[in-house]
Amino acid sequence: MRINDIVRIGPVVPVLQFDSVEQGESVAQALLDGGVRVLEVTLRTPAAMAVIERVARLSDQMVVGVGTLTRPEQFAMAVSAGARFGVSPGFTSALGEAAQAAGLPLLPGVATPSEILAAQAAGYDIVKFFPAEPAGGVPMLKALHGPFADLRFCPTGGITAESAPSYLALPNVVCVGGSWLTPKAVVDRRDWVAITRLAQAAAALRPAQHSA
- Which positions are annotated as active-site residues? 40, 128
Bridge partners, residue 40, by sequence: 15, 65
The answer to whether residues 41 and 55 touch, using CB atoms and an 8 Å cutoff, is yes
Q: Could you give the CA distance from residue 115 to residue 107 in angstroms, rounded to a whole number? A: 13
3-class DSSP assignment, residue 166 = helix
Sign of CA dihedral 7, 9, 12, 16: negative
The answer to whether residues 2 and 126 touch, using CB atoms and an 8 Å cutoff, is no
